[in-house]
Structure 1
Amino acid sequence: MLKVQKLRVEYKENPVGLDVCHPRISWQLQSVERNVMQQSYDIQISTEPDFSTLLWTSGRVYSDQCTHVELMEPELRSRKRYYYRVKVWDRENRHTDWSEAAFWEMGLLKAEEWKAGWISAPLSLLDVEAEQCPLVRHTFHIDGTPLQARMYVTALGLYEMELNGSRVGDGYMTPGWTSYNHRLQVQTYDITGQIAAGDNAVGAWLGNGWYKGNLAWDNRKHLYGDRPALLMQIHLTFADGDEQIITTGEHWTAAAGPILMSELYHGETYDARLERSGFSRAGYDDSSWSRVELVTHPKEVLVAQENVPVRKIEEIQPVQLLKTPAGETVLDMGQNMVGWMNFTLEAPGGTQVQLLHFEVLDQEGNVYTDNLRRAKQTVTYIAKGGGPESYEPRFTFQGFRYVQLLGFGANVALQDFTGIVLHSDMEPTGSFTCSNPLLNQLQHNIRWGQKGNFVDVPTDCPQRDERLGWTGDAQMFIRTSAYLMNVAPFFTKWLKDLAADQLDHGGVPFVIPNVLGENEHSSAAWGDAAVICPWTLYQCYGDKRILEQQYPSMQGWVEYIRQQGSDEFLWNTGFHFGDWLGLDAKPDSYSGATDTDYIATAFYAYSVQLMQKTAHVLGKTEDAQRYSELYSRIVTAFNREFITPSGRLSVSTQTACVLALMFGLVEGTAKERTVGKLLKLLEESNYHLTTGFVGTPYLNLVLSEAGHTDVAYQLLLQTDYPSWLYQVTKGATTIWEHWDGMKEDGSFWSKDMNSFNHYAYGAIGDFLYRHVAGIELDEDFPGYKKFVIQPQPGGDLTWAAAELETMYGRIRSEWRTAADRLEISVSVPPNATAELYLPNAGLAQVRERDGLLGLATGVHSAEQLGDKVKLELGSGDYSFTYAVEPQL
């Protein structure tokens, strides 16, 4: 009846190549019973899969902890595999069987363990300005079949490895984008099945990527370096204990490959006639190849893969072939996606075809690329001839719904084209559906916005000459993203880069990794990602280590703000983006009407408040007290500066009201007047928003918290401009950057900054999960150890349902209305508890599965709180029904 399942190490299933010296393991309990709580656990670790000998055992530990159990023992060794299993006892002292064995494997833990050298194609073959991508290769011999074989790889630029003619691994855009001068990820591959006794060969494709290629809108290149290079080491272990190491070094050879150009923004040009077939196989004749050159690069910056890899996640078939009014041949994928096209053609050698990727058709229905700015997003393929040939890019990706075909001739077949969707392979964790099809499409668009912009870093857009890790966008969306997918490894890696690129005085660059320059830093609501993102991860995953890891960065940011200007309790200096793209902006301005000093001080207060909470969690008592006092003084200064003696905000915008309420900056009369002012502003706009990036994520939340869920629904369900559903009515399949990215007549807001896949406004997903479905955290029990379900039916919805896979298991909340009755079904995972608030309910009327509430197993308590019934629930599946009480 009780089982241990879903064993994970550092969020990952059976990871290979860790460099965490004290890894943390997590597990879930499975039971059909209600009210299941772990009483104790036992963990065993062995270097043998059958646990015939034990390396370490925890013994029976009396604790209900089943997430992030840190292994302080034993001392872990490089390249060693460790097996572990878990047994659990419940509160009835019943125990599970031992779980199935899981494992993790360490990578190379010390720089001196790297015997390999950095290799690059010689400059005489490809100079630093050459666009053609190099190939490198090496043949080696082994005596006997190895018991175990591992490949450790990284690159300056991007790489794709081949071994004996087959691709190594299923990751793309490796080694990923980090603050390369401080951190460079290493991937570890189990190649045991790809290697054999005798002669073997290894080869690699190298590309520019983020390291050497074009980044940002100023056409700059070589921001980190000007030569792609490879570092690779193979470790072979034989049954008799012998080892053999194969490394990159001066004995490798290099040649120019068939990729004539590859850039993230611009696409890829591939000449199939230049293919070097079999170059990664033993016996290949490389006598015409050049010797590689050794290059110098520190190995101390090497770290193991932290984020989940970018992978091919799914395939999409085009839905139609269009002939535009201008005569262009265009594929419609039916979905704004990120990745690339795989295609097949048969043509004479030397035939050139092109695929131009773009997001929308223009007002007349023709190809529209102005919003790409300088990004070309074009794949060019030159056929080798001799039969059908297929191709897809390696070192670029595109953001697109439409593809213009050039040079393919008249007989284009849809089945010859497939869209390959790429993104970081995050575990899907959340779902939301309801009775309104437009809201369901909005949820779809939010999810696809996350897919398209979580390609190793949280980018602002995936199509134009930008695709940068804007800090503001990330902090605005992180809570929503954590409902949709497990983003803990993704943001853990990104936050380490934020700390690495943070300036000495604590300022935070606008984008992470920082490629905009040393003066582009520290806007309010953008730099605050340094504090908001770690706290959000802690809340969503119960991950205390993320706070420990980021604490110096968090503290550095807050202290940076405190040093600005002449008043340490106000932030009224420096450049700020403000309420970016707010609809109340002045003409020719991107920033909304809300005073930037107001926004800066509000976020200053919020970050200090989170610092106080973080210090408390980490046991930093003195810091907690200091930040508590600082927060109080900032709030006092804020009220003195921005609130009149009668309690009126001096800044009269929707966003100003939202921030004051969201961050707890007003109380009493001032709070009442602020709520009233927000309602008046919404009424004056006919219940349409005017908020931009800063105010929009919190707008519906504060309305609902203030008791005006009806107004929040009114905003949510608007279908005309400006609204979330306006985009849906215009055929959007992802979230737009601008409320009016496409106008009613099909014209566009702008060609300079008009992405149709930009996740920031997708933060409304937070409201869908937290308030419509009602799944909410309990701040004192992070990671959903204890949580709140408080659904808030409203609008024209007759039902809504959401699920969330947490560290403890699946949470479910579903409500349905029928006549004057309400049915609410919930699921609480084992080893967790929940508070359920039934809206408009009378305690005497509530039934659980047609039985009396007081007799229901797992219901710990029930009480009437105003027009709600509050229930304390243990784990299990529940279904409550009752007649809805009339509202006063």
Structure 2
Amino acid sequence: MIQVHSLRCEYLNNPLGLDVEKPRINWRLSSTHRAAKQMAYQIQVALNGQFSNLLWDSHKVVSDQSVHIQLNQVKIEPFTTYFYRVKVWDNFENVSDWSEVATWETGMLHSNNWSADWITASNESESEACDYIRKPFHLSKNVKSARAYASSLGIYELHVNGDRVGDSYFTPGWTSYQERVQYQTYDITELVTKGENAVGMILGNGWYKGYFGFEGRTNIYGDRKAGIAEIHVTYENNETEIIVTDHSWKASKGPIKMSEIYFGEVYDARAELAGWSKKGFDDQQWKETERVDYPKENITYQQNEAVRKIEYIKPEKIIHTPEGDTVLDMGQNMVGWMHFRVNGNKGQEVSLEHAEILDKDGNFYVGNLRKATQKTTYILKGDPLGEYFEPHFTFQGFRYVKLSGLLNEVVLEDFTGVVLHSDMESTGEFECSNPLVNQLHHNINWGLKGNFLDVPTDCPQRDERLGWTGDAQMFFRTAAYLKNVAPFFTKWLKDLEADQLDNGGVPYVIPNIIQKTSGNLGGVTHSVAAWGDASVIIPWSMYVCYGDKRILEEQYESMKKWVEYLRNQGTKEALWDTGFQLGDWLGLDSEPDTYTGATDKTLIATAYFAYSTELLMKTAEVLNNEEDMRAYQLLLKKIKKTYQQLFLDATGKLTVQTQTAHVLTLMFELADEQKSKQIATDLAKLIEKENYHLTTGFIGAPYLNIVLSEYGYHDIACKLLLQTDYPSWLYQVTKGATTVWEHWDSIKEDGSFWSDDMNSFNHYAYGSIGEWLYKALGGIDSAINQPGYKHIILEPRPGAEMEWVTASVDSMYGKITSAWNDNQATFEYHLSIPVNTSATVILHGVSPAQISEQQKQLSEIEGVVGYTHENDRTFLEIGSGTYSFSVGVKV
């Protein structure tokens, strides 16, 4: 049997408002056979679920492709629902049934299809308060379907007939607003009815005009909030009607007196506008709205998943601090807000302040928040039945909540932490016999959840929360194990491209809001090594992890512009030795009271120049651009030669004796094979000299364990992982961390803190060790020549004193599992490979004769296509299926 399931369009399940003229679909397969492959497929696309109104039939297509099938033959129209289904043929002459029907629905498709106007409240800029805008409307017939399309300059909530529409938050998201503003599509069929109706929007400042960035600016993109919306109604007789934002809408202030991302929210329940988005509401005292002249050409559909409420956390306990504060301990450093219930008198003011940490005396600590206050203030209306509240347009990074203004005894059941982040599908699982390492993995995952809120931020609590490019590229591969981040980064890369300078330079943060006045960044705002290289590294990594060739096509010019920018920077074409560099940020080998490690900045810059050039060369090859491929191949040779002349002596040793220098040289293959072996040996000695501790910063840490395992020093990589004293990954765990810290010692051994100016306790950069957990200990990787896990590399490397490891990744083709159990007698290896993929299993220190499954030799095992033995490693070529190999006892 072969079955087709899990159909997706552009990574999404039945998406609404998908404005892609050539959409791509993918599906997964299940089979009762091992080594099952798809040999052919058939796709049908129709305008109804019965497929009687057929638009296109591919008929039988001989192909094993089941991901990113581009529907070039279907002409896409706006405001249309498309139904599709798939059947396949396999290599055992089975034909599947038709899959379940899946859909995608287009929205505006083109910006010129917008009929609505941008509108704003006439006194909008006079107050910190949020604006409420509304309009009543009449529907003359019974409704068959209704869609709402909405966006804002700022952040909005859409309401229809008294109900908040959808489950998305912080819409329309943070983009490079001058170039692109996203809109969202909602199915509101169940919310409207024949007769009188009403629609409204609440508008907040958000990233658009609120106080944002560590420079303390407001009105970064504009000085007036605005909204735009359309409701498209289809009646049962198929007639249509459109309700739009225009001058007929009215505006008022309301109970949200202030809502800022850094500062929290002030809500006065006494000023609530009961029924403001319902029919029959008296809005005579409301003021007219004004049209805003803002380009509709900038409006684009939402590419990434929305921010949603993902999970709920109950506080673990109430703490009464030495200073006399009442504090809730959530037990987890989280991002989102508190939902709470209060009883009290009209006009009573209750406040919740949020912090990540308690100081060494056990007191509530907000020093590391800098100017951010993270405070929710609620003024009661005096409802005797109790009042419930949660904020609207702000989010907090916190574990601890200080309560003020409550008259009654605090009851834990009245408080719930609401975790919010971009609603990415979870794909990675990792567990091992060491509970400290399991907590580290937990912390890495929660670091992602806390910082992937529409953009990949550096931290979620202080007055920063910016999309630092370097942090994002360093963590990308780990993130791609943990979550399906393809839509998330597709959107973010569009903003990178939009903010990229004409000369190819890439800003430090995307979207870019840093001004040249930032003195602590050298007075420049763009283009440093490892940060700007995100423009090349992330698209290529997306291709490797998801097989997404389109992202390379769409980002190619941006990638090329960056490499050409580097080409023009140095004193020589193949050297980057000029300009400001962040260097090995927070490296432990730095000078006292400085942020930058000791590794030569020209070495770092030139190494990344080589790496980006190599990835651009590979991208050109994938895209069949032979001319560029040859040109960048030649440039890469020049860069490597220059690098070797400058940084390698005659004996093959690096002239820069830091861990990071050795790591980059090995990771980016900047020396020949023989010299690389010497450099790896030298790296091992440097680590031994530090009593098996690291000295790397942001740049060296992501690759340190990877190169050690790759070059024969897996035992040292495991020793680094298992260290529990400072500096190490597990030091944070022993100090009670539930997320990854910005510094190796954000809490010092004596309980004091790093400097308040830059000490985040939720900072995912050092969480990049997660890639090694999955790739080395778990053994899961994708072959580059068949990307997206079409061909899987399974190379588990036991070590770290672990008895067992279980890892899995839910790929585009399905779930990949790699689990081993190591004891004195045998090594058990259990794995599963999705249908329509294959794998190479690499087992170290094992001969083929030692491998069996249920007492069968390799040659007798179904699904094992072939095997070889080389350099004390056995290579198995296998097809899809679930396997349980035993190693250590000859058959």
Task: State the TM bucket, normalised to the shorter chain.
Answer: over 0.9
- For 1:328-477, list aligned pairs within 5 A: 328-387=325-384, 388-409=386-407, 411-477=409-475
- Aligned equivalent of 1:57: 57
Once the two structures are TM-superposed, the CA of residue 129 in structure 1 deviates from its matched residue by 4.7
Q: Does 1:139 align with 2:156?
A: no
Match of 1:20 in 2: 20
- The one-letter code sitting in structure 1 at the alignment partner of 2:405 is G
Which residue is equivalent to 2:160? 163
2:758 matched residue in structure 1: 753
1:207 aligns with 2:204: yes
Which residue is 2:272 aligned to? Answer: 275
Q: What CA deviation, in whole Å up to 9, does each residue of 1:272-296 have, x standing for no partner?
A: 0000011000000111111111111
1:188 maps onto 2:185 in alignment: yes
Counterparts of 1:794 and 1:34, CA distance in 2: 30
1:865 aligns with 2:875: no
Matches of 1:679 and 1:140, distance apart in 2: 72
Offset, 1:104 = 0.4
Question: How far apart are the structure 2 equivalents of 1:565 and 1:817?
Answer: 51
1:623 to 623, 628, 632: 628
2:492 maps to 494
Amino acid at match of 1:650: T
Equivalent residue in structure 2 for 1:590, among 578, 592, 595: 595
Structure 1 residue 776 displacement after superposition? 1.2
Q: Give the whole-Å Cα distance in 1 for the aligned partners of 2:457 and 2:64.
A: 38
User: Which whole-Å deviations, capped at 9, do the CAs of 1:641-680 have from their partners, x for residues lacking one?
Assistant: 1111221211110000000000000124432331122111
Q: 1:6 and 2:6 equivalent?
A: yes
Cα shift readout 1:39-89 (whole Å, capped 9, x = no counterpart): 000000000111012110111100000000001012110001100000000
Q: Alpha-carbon deviation of 1:840?
A: 2.1
Q: Give the Cα separation in 1 of the matches to 2:843 and 2:692.
A: 28
CA distance in structure 2 between the aligned counterparts of 1:413 and 1:78, rounded to whole angstroms: 52
- In the alignment, structure 1 residue 240 sits paired with structure 2 residue 240: no
Equivalent residues in 2 for 1:120-131 (5 A)? 120-123=120-123, 126=124, 128-131=125-128
**Secondary structure in structure 2 of the residue aligned to 1:291:** strand
The match for 2:520 is none
Once the two structures are overlaid, the 10-residue window that deviates more, 511-520 or 314-323, is 511-520
**1:104 corresponds to:** 104
1:701 has 2:698 as partner? no
Secondary structure (helix, strand or coil) at the match of 1:877 reads strand
Give 2:536's match in structure 1, choosing from 531, 537, 549.
Answer: 531
Q: Tell me, in whole angstroms, the C-alpha distance in 2 between the residues paired with 1:443 and 1:378.
A: 30
| Aligned counterparts, 1:278-293, within 5 A | 278-293=275-290
Specify the SS of the correspondent of 1:829: strand
**CA offsets 1:750-804 (integer angstroms, 9 cap, x no match):** 1110000000000000000000010011110100000110100012100001011
Q: Which amino acid aligns with 2:378?
A: Y
Cα offsets for 1:249-282 (capped at 9, x unmatched): 1000000011111100110000000000110000
**Given the two structures, how large is their TM-score scaled by the length of structure 2?**
0.98
Kindly provide the CA deviation profile for residues 289-343 of structure 1, in whole angstroms up to 9, marking residues without a partner as x: 1111111100001110101000000000000000011111000000000000000
Higher alpha-carbon deviation: 719-728 or 109-118: 109-118
- Offset from partner CA, 1:387-442 (integer Å, 9 cap, x none): 20000001000000000001113500000000000000000001000000000000
Q: Which runs of 5+ in 2 are unaligned?
A: 517-523
Q: Offset at 1:865?
A: 2.1
Alignment equivalent of 1:650, drawn from 649, 655, 680: 655
Give the match for residue 255 of structure 2.
258
Is the alpha carbon distance of 1:668 and 1:24 closer, same or farther for their aligned partners in structure 2, counting shifts above 3 Å? closer
Contact 1:432 1:769 in 2 (8 A): yes
Alignment of 1:685-696 (within 5 A): 685-696=690-701
Q: Secondary structure at the match of 2:300?
A: strand
Is 1:73 the counterpart of 2:78 in the alignment?
no
> Which letter maps to 2:102?
A
Contact 1:453 1:460 in 2 (8 A): yes
Matched, 1:733 2:730: no
Separation of aligned partners in 2, 1:46 and 1:669? 59
**Which residue of structure 1 aligns with residue 521 of structure 2?**
none
Deviations 1:705-759, CA, capped at 9 Å, x for gaps: 0001000000001011000000000000000000000012211011110000000
1:306 maps to amino acid: Q
Q: CA deviation at 1:884?
A: 7.3
Q: Is the 8 A contact 2:677 2:711 kept in 1?
A: no
For 1:461, the aligned partner's letter is C
Cα offset, 1:853, TM superposition: 1.9
C-alpha contact (below 8 Å) 2:36/2:92 kept by paired residues: no
Asked if the contact 2:851–2:889 (Cα under 8 Å) also holds between the matched residues in 1, the reply is no
Please tell me whether the aligned partners of residues 841 and 884 of structure 1 are also in contact (alpha carbons under 8 angstroms).
Answer: no
CA distance in 1, matches of 2:67, 2:425: 17
Amino acid at match of 1:201: A
Does the Cα contact within 8 Å between 1:185 and 1:305 map onto a contact in 2? yes
Q: Which amino acid aligns with 1:508?
A: V
* 1:778 equivalenced with 2:756 (yes/no): no
SS of the residue 2:36 aligns to: coil
Contact 1:822 1:884 in 2 (8 A): no
CA distance in 2, matches of 1:777, 1:529: 20
Pairing partner for 2:727 from 722, 725, 728? 722
The size of the alignment, in residue pairs, is 882
Task: After TM superposition, give the deviation of residue 817 of structure 1 in Å.
Answer: 1.2
Range with bigger deviation, 245-254 or 665-674: 665-674
State how far apart, in whole Å, the 1-side matches of 2:383 and 2:788 are. 58
CA distance in 2, matches of 1:360, 1:305: 35
Task: Give the residue type in structure 2 aligned to 1:147.
Answer: K
Partner of 1:431: helix, strand, or coil?
strand
Match of 1:874 among 866, 879, 888: 879
Q: For 2:878 and 2:640, how far apart are their aligned partners in 1?
A: 37
Contact 1:541 1:784 in 2 (8 A): yes
The alignment partner of 1:202 has SS state of strand
The letter for the 2-side match of 1:404 is K
Q: Is 2:79–2:105's contact at 8 Å kept on the other side of the alignment?
A: yes
- Assess if the C-alpha contact under 8 Å between 1:233 and 1:245 holds in 2: yes
Q: What is the rounded CA distance, in whole Å, between the counterparts of 1:660 and 1:71 in structure 2? A: 43
CA distance in 2, matches of 1:219, 1:53: 57
Distance of 1:335 and 1:204 partners within structure 2: 33
Within the candidate set 827, 841, 850, 1:845 is matched to: 850
**Residue 111 of structure 2 contacts residue 300 of structure 2 at CA under 8 Å; is this kept in 1?**
no
Which deviations, in whole Å up to 9, do the C-alpha atoms of 1:510-556 show, x marking residues without a partner?
00000003640001000000000000000000000000000000000
Q: Distance in 1 between matches of 2:666 and 2:781?
A: 18
Distance, in Å, in 2 between the alignment partners of 1:323 and 1:191 is 47
Is the 1:153–1:231 contact (alpha carbons within 8 Å) kept by the matching residues of 2? yes
Does 2:507 correspond to 1:509? yes
Task: Output the amino acid matched with 1:507.
Answer: G
The letter of the residue matching 2:382 is G
| Identical-pair percentage | 55
Partner of 1:561: 566
Secondary structure at 2:215's aligned position in 1? coil
1:297 equivalenced with 2:294 (yes/no): yes
SS at match of 1:18: coil
Cα distance in structure 2, aligned partners of 1:152 and 1:206: 15
Q: Which residue is equivalent to 1:480?
A: 478
Q: What is the 5 A alignment of 1:316-327?
A: 316-327=313-324
Is 670-679 or 698-707 further displaced after alignment?
670-679
Tell me the secondary structure at the aligned position of residue 224 of structure 1: coil
Q: In the TM superposition, what is the alpha-carbon distance from 1:215 to its structure 2 partner?
A: 1.2
Alpha-carbon separation, structure 2, partners of 1:869 and 1:564: 46
Q: Residue in 2 aligned with 1:767?
A: 772
Pick from 669, 672, 676 the counterpart of residue 667 of structure 1: 672
- TM-score where L is the length of structure 1: 0.99
Q: Secondary structure at the match of 2:65?
A: coil
